[in-house]
Amino acid sequence: MKRIISFICLIGCTLIWGTTFVAQDTGMDHIGPFTFNSARFFVGFMTVFPIALIVERKKILPEIKSNKRLFSKYLILMSVSLFFGTYLQQTSLLFTNIANAAFFTVFYVPLVPIILFIIYRSKVHWSIWPSILLCITGVYFLSDFTNSEILIGDSLVILCSVFWALHIIFAGKFMEK
């Protein structure tokens, strides 16, 4: 049963991730990046918070109380990296196209093990690198990046992928603690 639920979550996440660039690009025709991200996070908060409160309340509250300093440290690191990741990605859509944004955003995948090694001296298993190569190759073909040109907004997307990688690392370290 857990495998079925995991598979459904994987498909749902893929569907959401794959379709959001169109919504983000369309949103930028009418509102700015701060307004778009504010609405996006408000909807996300209103969706996830009640579920987290019901399902995880008994587990979360004692952990927060026992490790307030650690909780605050990682909360700040995750929040700052998430803010810059989403802001740079959203702003980049003013200066680049969806195909480029999707392709360059996925650079967070190889950046995670690289940054993990630089910051924490963590080595990754060799099998991760072929997976990363397949991931980037897959996004290359899905993004139809073949007839795109390099645009000024692409540098913002590459920078946003650094912050996405940091967010993933800090969230992972938070969950370890």
**Confidence tier at 106 by pLDDT (50, 70, 90):** confident
Q: What is the pLDDT of residue 163?
A: 96
Task: Name the token pair of 83.
Answer: 């803010």
pTM of the complete model: 0.79
**Alpha-carbon distance 159 to 150, whole Å?**
15
Q: Which two tokens stand for residue 164?
A: 């996405």
pLDDT value for 82: 92
Q: Is the pLDDT at 70 greater than 80, yes or no?
A: no
76 exposed, middle or buried (CB, 10 Å; 0-12, 13-18, 19+)? exposed
Rounded mean pLDDT of 79-104? 87
* pLDDT band, very low/low/confident/very high, at 114 (cuts 50, 70, 90): very high
- From the list 159, 78, 41, 3, the residue with the least C-alpha distance to 49 is 41
For the beta carbon of residue 54, count every other beta carbon within 10 angstroms: 8
**What is the distance in angstroms between the CA of the first residue and the CA of the last residue of the chain?**
28
For 75, half-sphere exposure in the C-beta direction (CA atoms, 13 angstrom radius) is 7
Which segment of 19-33, 67-81, 103-117 scores lowest on mean pLDDT? 19-33
Q: What is the mean pLDDT of the chain?
A: 84
Q: Which one has a higher pLDDT value, 116 or 55?
A: 116
In the prediction, which pLDDT does 31 show?
Answer: 86
Task: Select from 87, 88, 82 the least CA-distant residue to 152.
Answer: 88
Q: Model confidence at 7, in pLDDT bands (50, 70, 90)?
A: confident
pLDDT in tens, 127-172: 889 988 888 888 777 776 666 677 788 889 999 999 999 999 999 8
Count H helices and E strands in the chain, helices first: 7, 0
